[in-house]
Structure 1
Amino acid sequence: MSRYIKWFKEISIKDVDEVGGKNASLGEMYSHLAPLGVNVPNGFAVTATAYKHYLDFNNLWEPLKKLFENFNPDDIDRLKFVGKSARDLIMKSEVPDDLKKEILNGYKQLKKEYGEDISLAVRSSATAEDSPTASFAGQNETYLNIKGEDNLIWAYKMCLASNFTDRSISYKYTHKFDPLKVYLSVVIMKMVRSDKGSSGVMFSIDTETGFRDVVFINAAWGLGENVVQGTIDPDAFYVHKPTFKKGYRAVLKRKRGDKNKMMVFSEELEKANLAEQFTKNIKTPIEKRMKFSITDKEILQLADWAIKIEEHYSKVNNRYTPMDMEWAKDGIDGNLYMVQARPETVHSQEKSTQFEIYRLKEKGKVILTGNAVGEKIGAGKVKIMFSMAEADKFKDGDILVAPTTSPDWEPVMKKASAIITETGGRTCHAAIVSRELGKPAVVGAKNATKILHDNQGVTVSCAEGEIGKIYDGILKYEIEKVDISKLPRPKTKIMMNLGNPDIAFSLAKLPVDGIGLARMEFIINNYIKAHPMAIRHPELLSETERALIDELAFAYEGDAKDFFIKTLSEGVATIASSVYPKKCIVRMSDFKSNEYANLLGGRHFEPIEDNPMIGFRGAARYTHPNYADGFALECQAMKRAIFEMGFDNIVLMIPFCRRVEEAKRVKAAMIENGLENVKIYMMCEIPNNVILIDEFLKIYDGISIGTNDLTQLTLGVDRDSEIVSFDYDERDEGVKKMVKMAVEGAKKNNKYSGLCGQAPSDYPEFAEFLVKIGIESMSLNPDSVLKIIKDISKMEEK
């Protein structure tokens, strides 16, 4: 029987004290999740007992103890000296013969299982690692592509020494661990040949917002260290758990990353024992950079595993346990493998009823953007650093700016008011540590060290969605803290207006009854960027326009139609997912002709109008020869979102429908394009909609009153014209009478009535008026929701 090693089949999550967090999770998955179809490569743990034996044999306890006497981890120079001295003590010592024999015997058994040519992954596994409050992400070393007995023993010693890296020592003190009582176990496992495939990180929760209903996956070509260390911008994918569990198989959302580097194996194994000899970074070929690094089938396979792993660990822990995982695709056998799973350490500790909203109180110039980490705002003076050798110049409250922020920098990161890096995705080690420290970070902010300069005052905002913004100057901001569990719930349903999928998850905690207005235009304008008719009729475009559309569609095998349908359906579904299964009302496109003309290729398909506000817009376009093919694309995207992606909470809505005959034509076109048995509402925003409400509601299932256009057309005021803006007022008695008639008409026909205009967000008295006339719901801008809920609850009590 082995004294110092344990095989994965012998390990469970209960063995953390002996084999560390990483090994314990690998054993737990190998034993309990492999039978459910989760692939886990085989391997063994070199235990904490072996670590203690190594230190005992070499008489290292006393010299290590002396190094940490009267130690202050905030003294950077002392930290560097202590770390290097401790690592030198480990590396200059010898592996005891009995321990070496067991490690090499384990290696021989793996060769029997996988073949003589097997390469190994040798990974640190600390006994305090992957605890509920501290992930130890990236604090200890990993060595990949290890072959040969001498290299294996060297890698084992390097892992032991990494228990005393500067970052690991600082991290232990930050989380109140005694550095001499955290023992180091080591993972030795089959190396998944992702150097010839792809790899990445996966969470069973949204990393930034704590939204529980999604699996979040980062992926890139080659070995996973570039994703983990944040040296590249990876691909990003989301899968919606509730619809997945119902049997729907679709990617919720995707974003293609730059992936400019890929890590592969180095063949120069005869050189001296240096970590760089085993792997190297090369430039990613342009065709790979332009494509997604995993297929939809693989994304869904990973999501399936993430859900199974989360459910298993939640059952083991008797509480909801979101998971942080690493995966790899073997480019030789073509299979996916799970190579790590640990509890997520930030959002799992939060109280789900606490809602913290950061808001800028001033406007400023955006000088840089990147990927937002967290949802906070920080401000201070820039300090640009290229290495930890410059740490002495960093002061509390400074903004850390660096090419990349690895976990080595944790001692400086905890002093920063915000962090900016030029590379990295939202699941890299630096991002994980930033979240644990509660610091806003913007990663992947290209050329940050060139655009910004030392002592420049900036404000870093991660409170505006997935795009993190760096503003010039130190701007004022506020923090609103709300305990949602203590908010009253009014009888009138409070819904939310939302067009930007990037902020949907961050708003999911708001206590709303659904989305009252999801605007398609934002998705088409910001993600698709091309005119729908240009997608359908490329033969009418210039060569330059066709080339630009081909570039947009490259990752979709060059199929522009597929690109349009998937991008639009996934954008809408992302918004719908934030309130699922509550209602999400999606308005079909309502660009004006001058706005459509600005889209790629739009100039070929749009008329020049003197007053586009009341011109070729809304329902008039949908069956017109100039746009019918574009509307068909919109319908196909919505068909995919509802029937293929499973978002049956989506209700479609027709804007600016002037006449009853037009309403009938549009409804017929929607059915012809596959949208039969879908609820369809009409925007009630033209006086004729109110006058003929009974006729319109024979065709549609409800109305949502748009006060912006209804006010414009009732008062005869062009809402785009500044010179007559003084006459534009939703509170005018004539407008209010129109609204009241519309609500009464809907009630008489037993149909839904809501309001999605600006008025109740701007005017509390208008919200009170809506309550009095008995409207079913009102949809507000997100920043008005909490205030209006309180106001309406008081009104209803009167």
Structure 2
Amino acid sequence: VHKPTLAAGFEPIIWRKLGAKELRMAYDPAGHRLRNDPVAAAERERYSLEDADILQLARWAVSIEKHYGMPMDIEWAKDGLSGELFIVQARPETVHSQRQAPTVRLYKLDQRGEILVEGIAVGDALAVGPTRVVESTAQMDEFQPGEVLVTRITDPDWEPIMKKAGAIVTERGGRTSHAAIVARELGIPALVGANQAIAKIGAGREVTVSCVEGETGYVYAGRLPHQVTEVNPFDLPRPRTKIMMNAGSPEQAFRVCQLPHQGVGLARMEFIFASWVRVHPLALTRYQSLDPALRGEVDVLTRGYVDKTEYFVDKLSQGIAVIAAAFWPHQVILRFSDFKTNEYAHLVGGAPFEPHEENPMLGWRGASRYYHPDYKEGFMLEVAAVRRVREKFGLTNLAVMIPFCRTPEEGARVLETMAEGGLARGKDGLEVYVMAEIPSNILQAEEFAELFDGFSIGSNDLTQLTLGVDRDSDRVAPLFDERNAGVKKSCATLIEAAHRKGRKVGICGQAPSDYPEFAAFLVEQGIDTISLTPDAILPTTLKILELEKVPVTAVAAE
């Protein structure tokens, strides 16, 4: 429960979990002892507490903390006969409240060893541990926490494994591949595009994965000696340029929000789809049309929900709300779902509703889905979830963003569709941004500025479409470079055009996290915000601070 908006009169139950509840402990009057009784299936599929109970307990907890002036560990009970709630104990909380301010780790390798493979380095960390080769998600249960994941390529189905990994090595992919993006979100080192990694590394081998030696990362044989230095980023002054964060995982939100930040420049809805919802929205809106086997899969995931669409809205709104609450009161910009058709198809029940496309990267994705009759009802569930977060939970720091919007006319159609669902730009202060990731977004920036509150540069797709480079192709990966003069000119043109119209411009793409000199260029152009992956907050802040202390042109030239 989010305390600030609870105090304002909202009902911000932002997260709950349905437990198994297989047994109930009850008093046995015959034996004068406790016994364990099995719980009926219908009861197990209900939450233990009604919303009214949760909110009452939360209000009492806030009052108790206010009275004592400190965090409190509070115990409560509910009478099994009368249904009354009671506070039975309150004492000072001594675990979470005693934690020290978060620090950032800086790694240094003391010596190099035998190089097994090299690839594109992701992140600025180092990890040691045993390797495990995983060919498919069917091997998910075999993977142990802290192991080094070695595989060919990953997609959203792999995220449960990736969250347990100490490091990730993939044979395919580039700096903006799925494995690279998720590794940055999780703060773990990764090598992507490591050719023949499975054959050269093997399974069960102790290795050192190093992403602390520049743009190229290495997997060394054995556990190499290294140093770790911890720095408190709160000791640093804040730069004039607004530093925001990319945050897609609700599970990580309350950890990474402790880093210095001024909000979230990109929260990816599709990450919440993959980890919290897991079901294709149309499999819920068209539940009765599913074949019996697929309905059975959906039933398992939606246990406890009679209304299948309510499952989607409830789970999605909870995931969004956790991120918005963690970063409250700073703005959180949520990008509506930006899966490609092949990725949507991997969701439970998704295959029947997604076409096969030869090039999903340039196909039916982003804005073009939201108003299309074949997905509009799914988008309306996304809209309903956002409304719940803002209107029921009171988390009005949540803004939204439209991805892959090809034309101003398409942007207008999306805004009309949102308004149909009760989510209108400007209502209760709602800001709507658009991704600038297609050349048309740059060339028609002033027309887009008439529709939206601001732009966020998606340097990954903008680079791909400016240079005509498939960002997932190993063969042309060396040509994919956000520092290309054409890409930089596009960014500068957008910033100038948007500012003429009084609109803000940020960047949420990977470039400033990977290349501090690119961040320096953006600062020179007068960008309003730079949104970084958590692992890049410290090094990029240091670069920007250095930049802001001397003439910008001198640093950029250097």
Same fold (TM over 0.5): yes
Match runs of 1:71-86 below 5 Å: none
Match of 1:361 in 2: 127
In structure 2, what is the Cα distance between the partners aligned to 1:530 and 1:777?
34
Decide which of 763, 776, 779 is 2:531's aligned counterpart. 779
Match of 1:692 in 2: 444
Match of 1:532 in 2: 281
Decide which of 732, 739, 764 is 2:516's aligned counterpart. 764
SS at match of 1:722: coil
Question: Following TM superposition, by how much is the alpha carbon of 1:498 offset from its aligned partner in structure 2, in angstroms?
Answer: 0.8
Match runs of 1:185-334 below 5 Å: 239-269=1-31, 278-314=33-69, 321-334=70-83
Match of 2:342 in 1: 594
Match of 1:668 in 2: 416
Question: Following TM superposition, by how much is the alpha carbon of 1:267 offset from its aligned partner in structure 2, in angstroms?
Answer: 2.3
Decide which of 729, 743, 750 is 2:481's aligned counterpart. 729
In structure 2, what is the Cα distance between the partners aligned to 1:479 and 1:727?
34
In structure 2, what is the Cα distance between the partners aligned to 1:261 and 1:683?
50
Are the counterparts in 1 of residues 104 and 538 from structure 2 also a CA contact under 8 Å?
A: no
Are the counterparts in 1 of residues 234 and 260 from structure 2 also a CA contact under 8 Å?
A: no
In structure 2, what is the Cα distance between the partners aligned to 1:286 and 1:783?
45
SS at match of 1:753: strand
In structure 1, what is the Cα distance between the partners aligned to 2:33 and 2:268?
51
Match of 1:553 in 2: 302
Are the counterparts in 1 of residues 263 and 330 from structure 2 also a CA contact under 8 Å?
A: yes
Decide which of 721, 743, 751 is 2:503's aligned counterpart. 751
Superposed CA offset, 1:460-485 (max 9, x none): xxxxxxxxxxxxx9999976533343
Name the CA shift for 1:357/1:572 in 2 (closer, same or farther; >3 Å): farther
The range that moved more, 360-369 or 489-498, is 360-369
Name the CA shift for 1:354/1:666 in 2 (closer, same or farther; >3 Å): closer
Q: Which amino acid is 1:504 matched to?
A: A
Question: Following TM superposition, by how much is the alpha carbon of 1:624 offset from its aligned partner in structure 2, in angstroms?
Answer: 0.5
In structure 2, what is the Cα distance between the partners aligned to 1:716 and 1:458?
40
Question: Following TM superposition, by how much is the alpha carbon of 1:457 offset from its aligned partner in structure 2, in angstroms?
Answer: 12
Name the CA shift for 1:332/1:511 in 2 (closer, same or farther; >3 Å): same
Question: Following TM superposition, by how much is the alpha carbon of 1:547 offset from its aligned partner in structure 2, in angstroms?
Answer: 2.4
Decide which of 478, 483, 502 is 2:251's aligned counterpart. 502
* Higher RCO (C-alpha under 8 Å, 6+ residues apart): 2
Kindly report structure 1 stretches of 4+ aligned residues shifted beyond 6 Å: 366-370, 456-459, 473-478
Match of 1:467 in 2: none
1:653 aligns with 2:401: yes
In structure 2, what is the Cα distance between the partners aligned to 1:562 and 1:545?
18
Name the CA shift for 1:477/1:304 in 2 (closer, same or farther; >3 Å): farther
Question: Following TM superposition, by how much is the alpha carbon of 1:535 offset from its aligned partner in structure 2, in angstroms?
Answer: 1.2
Match of 2:111 in 1: none
Question: Following TM superposition, by how much is the alpha carbon of 1:534 offset from its aligned partner in structure 2, in angstroms?
Answer: 1.2
Name the CA shift for 1:328/1:486 in 2 (closer, same or farther; >3 Å): same
Q: Which amino acid is 2:319 matched to?
A: G
Q: Which amino acid is 1:731 matched to?
A: R
Name the CA shift for 1:480/1:296 in 2 (closer, same or farther; >3 Å): farther
Match of 1:625 in 2: 373
Question: Following TM superposition, by how much is the alpha carbon of 1:250 offset from its aligned partner in structure 2, in angstroms?
Answer: 2.7
Decide which of 355, 358, 379 is 1:610's aligned counterpart. 358
Aligned-pair identity (%): 46
In structure 1, what is the Cα distance between the partners aligned to 2:58 and 2:389?
18
SS at match of 2:476: helix
SS at match of 2:6: helix
Question: Following TM superposition, by how much is the alpha carbon of 1:697 offset from its aligned partner in structure 2, in angstroms?
Answer: 0.8
Match of 2:315 in 1: 567
Where structure 2 has 5 or more consecutive residues not aligned to the other structure, the ranges are 107-124, 133-139, 148-203, 208-221, 551-558
Match runs of 1:428-447 below 5 Å: none
1:518 aligns with 2:284: no
In structure 2, what is the Cα distance between the partners aligned to 1:726 and 1:503?
32
- What is the TM-score with the length of structure 1 in the denominator? 0.54
Superposed CA offset, 1:7-50 (max 9, x none): xxxxxxxxxxxxxxxxxxxxxxxxxxxxxxxxxxxxxxxxxxxx
Q: Which amino acid is 1:322 matched to?
A: P
Are the counterparts in 2 of residues 540 and 604 from structure 1 also a CA contact under 8 Å?
A: no
Q: Which amino acid is 1:502 matched to?
A: E
In structure 2, what is the Cα distance between the partners aligned to 1:567 and 1:546?
19
Decide which of 466, 487, 495 is 2:236's aligned counterpart. 487
In structure 1, what is the Cα distance between the partners aligned to 2:11 and 2:228?
39
SS at match of 2:356: coil
Are the counterparts in 2 of residues 497 and 515 from structure 1 also a CA contact under 8 Å?
A: yes
In structure 1, what is the Cα distance between the partners aligned to 2:326 and 2:55?
20
Are the counterparts in 2 of residues 587 and 652 from structure 1 also a CA contact under 8 Å?
A: yes
Q: Which amino acid is 1:562 matched to?
A: E
Are the counterparts in 1 of residues 340 and 363 from structure 2 also a CA contact under 8 Å?
A: yes
Decide which of 703, 712, 718 is 2:464's aligned counterpart. 712
Are the counterparts in 2 of residues 361 and 478 from structure 1 also a CA contact under 8 Å?
A: no
Name the CA shift for 1:735/1:502 in 2 (closer, same or farther; >3 Å): same
Question: Following TM superposition, by how much is the alpha carbon of 1:283 offset from its aligned partner in structure 2, in angstroms?
Answer: 3.7
- What is the TM-score with the length of structure 2 in the denominator? 0.76
1:792 aligns with 2:544: yes
Question: Following TM superposition, by how much is the alpha carbon of 1:291 offset from its aligned partner in structure 2, in angstroms?
Answer: 2.8
Name the CA shift for 1:605/1:770 in 2 (closer, same or farther; >3 Å): same
In structure 1, what is the Cα distance between the partners aligned to 2:402 and 2:440?
15
Match runs of 1:21-36 below 5 Å: none
Are the counterparts in 2 of residues 577 and 647 from structure 1 also a CA contact under 8 Å?
A: yes
Superposed CA offset, 1:455-511 (max 9, x none): x9999xxxxxxxxxxxxx999997653334311200111111011000100112111
Q: RMSD value over aligned CA atoms?
A: 2.6
Question: Following TM superposition, by how much is the alpha carbon of 1:360 offset from its aligned partner in structure 2, in angstroms?
Answer: 6.2
SS at match of 2:415: helix
Name the CA shift for 1:743/1:476 in 2 (closer, same or farther; >3 Å): farther
Are the counterparts in 2 of residues 520 and 589 from structure 1 also a CA contact under 8 Å?
A: yes
Name the CA shift for 1:719/1:484 in 2 (closer, same or farther; >3 Å): closer
Question: Following TM superposition, by how much is the alpha carbon of 1:299 offset from its aligned partner in structure 2, in angstroms?
Answer: 1.2
In structure 2, what is the Cα distance between the partners aligned to 1:666 and 1:367?
41
In structure 2, what is the Cα distance between the partners aligned to 1:485 and 1:693?
37
Question: Following TM superposition, by how much is the alpha carbon of 1:796 offset from its aligned partner in structure 2, in angstroms?
Answer: 0.6
SS at match of 1:581: coil
